[in-house]
Amino acid sequence: MDATVQALIDLALAEDIGDGDVTATWFIAAEQQGRAAIVAREPGVLSGSEVAREVWRRIDPGLRLRFEPTDGEAFATGDRLALVEGTARSIVTGERTVLNFLQRLCGIAAMTARYVAAVAPHPVQVLDTRKTTPGWRLLEKAAVRHGGGTNHRMGLYDRAMVKDNHLAADGDLDRLQKAIDRLRSARPEVGVELEADTLEQVRRFAGLRGVDWILLDNMPPDDLRKAVALAAGRVRLEASGGITLDTIGEVAATGVDAISCGALTHSVRALDLGLDWLKDQP
């Protein structure tokens, strides 16, 4: 498990448990054993099973946890997602932290699956963005993949994305080309994407060497179709800016290669999941 995810789990447990779970310690006998199920209160897509497993492992390595669907599988209301068995104190101590992780990650996966379904049958990628919860990026981008989406750049280090704030939009083309050439020479593994606000910028940027993507920022569908014609397959096109479930199908029909949606991660509602104690059920 990545070190940043391990550190996030440490932080989550420390802020919740502190110097000990006083409720479990004083109200549940140390020898009490139990079985509980994580149950879906609404439909969704599973994501975060390994994080949940690690949370309970750190509290009590003796707990036995089995997920029934796997990450990326859809589930329905009432489905049992996992079964945990062992010391009752340990189960309830980890319950809230486990559910906090699962509810958010399943919510992202479920939202992504809805966006992916909305672009069918067009061969377009649904991308996430860097609009993630600080510290959660690896987990949230994994949840996007579990929902059928595709990850955009992970951070500032794995793709150059030149926006108007970098003086590209109004800059000299020769100066821009030289900067691209220098990057390509020094870091050939890093992709290059240029942001275009106008069709004229699309025309100019599509003629540059070494450009992998052009980001079409807040363009209406008619302009997106014109941009596709201008690029003529020389560079891949990404549509972005205020795209919703209601509009993504129309955007996909324009012929762009990808659509990025910050809403996949920055405004997702946590899915409703719960932990139910079991008695005689298998």
CB of 82 within 8 A of CB of 65? yes
pLDDT of 163 reads 86
Question: What domains can be seen in the chain, in order of their start residue?
Answer: 3-109+269-278 (3.90.1170.20), 116-266 (3.20.20.70)
pLDDT higher than threshold 50 for residue 123 = yes
pLDDT in tens, 200-224: 999 999 999 999 999 999 999 999 9
CB burial string 136-156: b at 16+ within 10 A, e below: bbbbbbbbbbbbbbbbbbeee
pLDDT higher than threshold 60 for residue 282 = no
Strands (E), the chain: 33-40, 44-45, 64-67, 74-75, 80-87, 125-127, 159-162, 191-196, 213-217, 236-240, 258-260, 273-278
Tokens 């993630």 sit on residue? 132
- The whole-angstrom separation of Cα 11 and Cα 6 is 9
Query: What's the mean pLDDT in 52-77?
Result: 98
Task: Look up residue 278 and give its amino acid.
Answer: L
- The whole-angstrom separation of Cα 235 and Cα 104 is 35
pLDDT of 248 reads 97
pLDDT of 164 reads 75
Enumerate the active-site residues: 96, 131, 163, 195, 217
Task: Look up residue 191 and give its amino acid.
Answer: G
Query: What's the mean pLDDT in 250-267?
Result: 97
pLDDT of 172 reads 84
- The whole model's pTM is what? 0.94
pLDDT higher than threshold 70 for residue 133 = yes
